[in-house]
Structures are given as C-alpha cells and as structure tokens.
A = this chain, B = another copy of it.
C-alpha cells in the first residue's frame, strides 16, 4: 500500500474558476458513448454549460474529433463498427492535440472488451475514468467484475489506479462512493455525491463527459479532473437533499448542475492533494 504525504490543496475558489471558464467558452464535447447513456449525457453536459455532440460514422468521425474541444470514448455497447470509429476518433484527437477520456465500461466482463480496451489504451487517453472493478481490470488485465456495476470499493482500486496512471501517463479517476484521482505522482480524494447516484443509470458515463468538458481548458489535467468530480459530487449532494428516489433525484441533479456557481463551493473544505511516495 503506497503511503502519501499531504503537500497541497485545491481551494473551493479555484474550483469556481474552472467552472466559470467552462461556461464563458462552452466546450464542444464529442462523445462516442453507449446507447443507454447518450440522452442522459447530453442533458448533463447541457445543464453544466457545455455543448455535447454524438457523432460516430467512419465517414466523419475523424473530421469531427478535430473540430471538437475534447473527445470521450465509452465501450458500454460496443460493436465492431463502433470500435473502428472509436479508434479513428482517438487517433484524430491525438493528432490534433485534443484531450480524450476513456471510459472502460464493463471491461472485465468479456474477452472482447479487454481486447478493445487494450487497443484504446495504446492510443494514450488523457484521462481514464472507471469504477473500481474497471480500473483494477485495466491495471491487471485480470478478469474481475461480472456486469457493469462495480463489485469492489474505491480504496481497493488505489494501487491499481496509481499503477495504471504510471504505466499510461494518463490521469486516472476511480469514481464511487468516494472518488480518487491520480496522475501517478499526485493523489486526491473527492467526497460528496449521494447514495442514490448508483441507482440512476449512466451517471458514471456522463461524468466522463463532464471530465472531458473541464480538461478541454488546457489547464493542468489533474486539477481539471478534480474540478469536474467536485462539481459532480456537489450537484449530487444537493440533489439528494430533495429526492424521494431515483426519479426525483435525476431531475434535481440536472437542476443542481445548472445552478452551480462559484459560490456553490464556498462551504467546501479544500481538496487535499498528496504526493504518492
């Protein structure tokens, strides 16, 4: 288990600046995501203040990725034609200096997913976001996780996340009850959210888009990823206050994302950033 020493913080003010900048210049986020997530993800990005687009035809996917400010690739409902487009999009993003975020949904479930994930990892995602099972599978390329929901806790994935970040040079975000972010050297934990979040489909997939929107700013990717997760967790916390179940939570979550502003974060403690030793 790696030990760590606290040596910096990210203040609530800085989180607010990240959000304000996103809204002043709404990023175009190009998503190759799964059929379940598309509608929710578009609504979440619009509520936040970004501009989502879903484009996947081989005839146009490279051209569109070059136009976009960031790209996301999610293998939730993959198939051969889509994989071809995912590889083209990731390649175009790299070629045009656009960040891209990889979401390895259910990677442990089948051999096909593990093979496709390996091909995508080779195209150097800027950020990898998954649940604990998914990050552990990617790090170990071992079989874990039966479906798309995690069977492991976030902290179990800590070492795997650090190893994966070191091996790929990506920022790795493990999201769950508590979120972890690491770039292999630095490590942060983000708390918040609400217990209803795993009962609403594709909130994780949509968070991948929110990370893409934040990292398109060109600021430090590790910090931008923290800002994305902190916004999401805070909107989740607020939505949970009024919710009676997953239906009312979904609606309140979109409202909360829309109404987030710089002062939203003022009550939060600074996010501690530790060095991985």
User: A residues near B, CB below 8 A?
Assistant: 28, 34-40, 42-43, 46-47, 51-60, 63-64, 67-68, 76-81, 106, 109-113, 146-149, 198-202, 243-248, 250-259
The answer to whether A259 and B247 touch (CB under 8 A), given A39-B201, A63-B110, is no
**Which chain B positions have C-beta within 8 A of A54?**
34-36, 76-77
Partner of A110, one of B60, B78, B254: B60
Contacts A/B (CB < 8 Å), 11 sampled: A35-B35, A38-B77, A51-B149, A54-B76, A59-B112, A60-B110, A63-B111, A67-B147, A244-B259, A245-B254, A245-B256
Number of copies of this chain in the oligomer? 3
Q: Is the CB of A79 within 8 A of B56?
A: yes
A67 to nearest B CB, angstroms? 6
Known: A58-B79, A244-B259. 14 other contacts (CB 8 A): A28-B146, A38-B77, A42-B201, A43-B246, A46-B200, A52-B148, A53-B147, A56-B79, A245-B255, A245-B257, A245-B259, A246-B255, A247-B258, A248-B252
A240 to chain B, nearest CB (A): 13
State which of B110, B199, B202 has its C-beta within 8 Å of the C-beta of A258: B199
A255/B247 in contact, CB under 8 A = yes
The reply to whether B36 and A56 form a contact with Cβ atoms under 8 Å apart is: no
Tell me which residues across on chain B come within 8 A of A80, comparing CB atoms.
Answer: 57, 59
Q: Please, which residues of chain B bring their CB within 8 A of the CB of A46?
A: 198-201, 246
Residue on B nearest A254 in the bound complex, by CB:
B247
Q: Are A245 and B47 in contact (CB under 8 A)?
A: yes
Cβ contacts under 8 Å, A148 to chain B: 51-53
The one of B35, B106, B200 in contact with A38, judged by C-beta atoms closer than 8 angstroms, is B35
A257 / chain B contacts, CB cutoff of 8 Å: 245
Q: How far is the CA of A235 from the CA of B255 in the complex (A)?
A: 19
Instruction: Report chain B residues within 8 Å CB of A63.
Output: 109-112
A224 to B244, CA, bound (A): 27
